[in-house]
Amino acid sequence: MEGLEGAVVEEIVGVAPEIVEKVLIKTASKLVREVEKVKMRIADIRRAIETKKDIFTIGKIEEEYEKLCYAAIDSSFTAPAIELVGGYLGIIAVVKEFYGSRCSKGHQGFIDAEAYVELWFNRDYVNEFAKYYERATAKKLLEMKMKGETYFDVLLLDGEIIPRIWRSSTANPVDMKIIEITNSVIDLADRTDTAIVGVLKRSYSRDIVNILGYHDLRLSDRAVLSLALEPGEYLAIAGYYQLHQELEALKNKRGVDKKWLKARLKWYEGLLQNIPVGYNIKLAFYRAMKTLYPTATKIEYTTSNSIHEDALLTNLIQISTSTGLPAPIDEVDRLATTTLSRELKHTVYQKLIAEVAKNTKIGIKEIQSLLSFMNPEKLSSILG
């Protein structure tokens, strides 16, 4: 019996160090093989890029550049929504900031935050509503610029410009509203001579490596370009329409993963439906000058009449921080997170109870029942 108890305790305490080491060696070897495979082909990859000048352009930051004004937007939200017996409570904080010496007087360094509260009875829509409120904020800023009430050169978003929403007969109304308001934002940006940049923090696409013919590479485009680009360099890419055509041309090419290609083409077809007619959304990867990790940053963007592509990408590289991301994005991300504090969530919850009680004849016990937590263990995250 004593031996059995000892075996159980040893298993609970943790995994044996030699097992951990064995697993780590296997994982490290797998990564090393892929990195070495790319490193051996860096020169070839760059040459392959240069032969497709109609799609790809490698550039380097300009030593002299005109500083721009950015209006940056990001949100933070309860993810998942707060699960109450009566439904899902979503709290969303949207932050905007003006960044740059070229911003209009009174708006330089201006920061503002707004909180939104929503309740859904049958499904958690907090992610969709956060996207909608971000775009609503962007639309309002562009309308202010059109009226001459403010000025900025670039609208900077944390995340994609074009919604990753696939149209269908079963699409929910919120998704369609996100597409509609995004179209309005793109149109207003065009009318107000404003560039738009969306910073894509998470990207595992392998479109570029496959278009270049390196079908055996398993690392993502971002990983490969982190190795292929030097600090201060960028790779500008023609746009989603052109990339889709290039991927279409791979259908009969040897060595292409047919299952991956089929899924990727379907993804592009859904994305292209959401780009307003007459507009082209381009992509780029760039390496900032001094970063904590030597990684490339991926963006999608539209230029404006007064800001050429080279100037826009040069500016983004120049204002990027040690994270590799543009400084305004780092700032609004931090502010949005701190705005959605435990105190804010506590206040919203208490005010919701008070507001419901004030506007109904139902007893307080019934109200508390509906507004109680589905999982009482999460109470501390709101009221702790």
- Counting residues of the chain whose pLDDT is more than 90, the rounded percentage is 68
CA distances from 281 to 21, 131, 268, 301 (A): 46, 18, 13, 6
Instruction: Tell me: pLDDT of 9 over 50.
Output: no
pLDDT (0 to 100) of residue 6: 45
Within 110-161, residue ranges assigned H as helices are 126-146
Instruction: Tell me: pLDDT of 95 over 70.
Output: yes
Q: How many residues does the chain have?
A: 384
Question: Global pTM?
Answer: 0.89
* Nearest of 219, 286, 306 to residue 35 by alpha carbon: 219
* Nearest of 53, 137, 46 to residue 96 by alpha carbon: 137
**Are 159 and 199 within 8 A, CB to CB?**
yes
pLDDT (0 to 100) of residue 186: 98
**Are 211 and 242 within 8 A, CB to CB?**
no
Instruction: Tell me: pLDDT of 221 over 60.
Output: yes
Instruction: Tell me: pLDDT of 178 over 50.
Output: yes
pLDDT (0 to 100) of residue 355: 86
Strand residues in the chain grouped as ranges (E): 56-60, 70-77, 82-84, 87-99, 111-120, 154-158, 195-200, 233-237, 282-286, 297-302
CATH architecture of 58-340: 2-Layer Sandwich (3.30)
Average pLDDT, the chain: 89
Instruction: Tell me: pLDDT of 12 over 80.
Output: no
pLDDT (0 to 100) of residue 377: 66
Instruction: Tell me: pLDDT of 46 over 80.
Output: yes
**Are 285 and 298 within 8 A, CB to CB?**
yes
Residue with tokens 């204002």: 319
Give the single-character DSSP code of 307.
Answer: B
- What does the pLDDT look like over 308-362, one tens digit per residue? 999 999 999 999 999 999 999 999 999 999 999 999 998 998 898 888 888 877 7
**Are 67 and 312 within 8 A, CB to CB?**
no
Instruction: Tell me: pLDDT of 3 over 60.
Output: no
Confidence of residue 10 (pLDDT cuts 50, 70, 90): very low
In the predicted model, what is the mean pLDDT of residues 358-369?
A: 77
Instruction: Tell me: pLDDT of 101 over 90.
Output: no
**Who wins on pLDDT, 146 or 170?**
146
Instruction: Tell me: pLDDT of 17 over 50.
Output: yes
Q: Tell me which of 213-227, 260-274, 363-377 is least confident.
A: 363-377
Q: How many CB atoms lie within 10 A of CB 47?
A: 11
Residue spans per domain, the chain: 2-40, 58-340, 343-383
pLDDT (0 to 100) of residue 293: 87
> Which of 27-31, 71-75, 362-366 reaches the highest mean pLDDT?
71-75
In the predicted model, what is the mean pLDDT of residues 288-308?
A: 94
pLDDT (0 to 100) of residue 102: 86
